[in-house]
Amino acid sequence: MSQDLRSTPVARSSAHATQFAGAHETLARMHHSAPLAHLCDALDAMFEACAKFPEPSDSTFFARSMRVALAEAAANPELLTSAQREGSTEKYRRHLLAADPHGRYAVAALVWLPQQASPVHAHHTWCGYAVIEGTLSETVFEWNGAQHCASATRTQARNPGAVSFVRGGRGGIHRLGNCSDAPAVSLHIYGVAGAQIATHVNDIVRATEAPALV
């Protein structure tokens, strides 16, 4: 019988972590807390409101509503379980929290231990994130089509409550990392099915020089 992923546990992680695209994907038993269920309801309503758009993320309403939904969910201490805040000493760790049964979005928590960082990347799809705990450092890059590489333009601290939303394409190249001495946790929503997080989100690009995490 078909089951709604937002209200039904779907899987437990195996004893060993499964590696995807520079991060551990933990398909833990879905924990649909009230804040997470509320977030999924908000996302469903956003898609319904933007049904007339061939690509919902092109709508200003969609982008604005996504930022509001991210900020509200990230501010709720009951959003994540303790297990969903666990990191990995190897690489930053990604916990899949919810996957839309229609494949429109996936919600994940990323846990960053000190000195862990993503590669420099753009996005194949829209995505948004909010910082839940700790501080992340975000370096923004500009794409040079002639040289086929990206160059850093600025770096900024992203503290709890910071929210970002970008549409797909190389107009939104960045790198996230944790340069502090304490773990950091962020909430991410991607415009892909849960099974496609590893392959259909990050567009890893070459950079002339990626500043060190300091």
- Identify whether the C-beta of residue 126 lies closer than 8 Å to the C-beta of residue 166: yes
- Which of 162, 20, 166 has the alpha carbon at shortest distance from 95? 20
* 121 annotated ligand-binding residue: yes
The backbone torsions φ and ψ at residue 61, rounded to the nearest 5 degrees and listed phi first, read: -60, -40
Q: Would you tell me how many other CB atoms lie within 10 Å of the CB of residue 61?
A: 12
Amino acid at 142: E
* 174 annotated ligand-binding residue: yes
Give the tokens for residue 206: 């070459």
* 148 annotated ligand-binding residue: no
The backbone torsions φ and ψ at residue 156, rounded to the nearest 5 degrees and listed phi first, read: -140, 150
Q: Would you tell me how many other CB atoms lie within 10 Å of the CB of residue 78?
A: 9
Give the tokens for residue 52: 């007339």
Cα separation, 124 vs 122, whole angstroms: 7
Binding site as annotated, residues for Fe cation: 121, 123, 174
Binding site as annotated, residues: 121, 123, 174
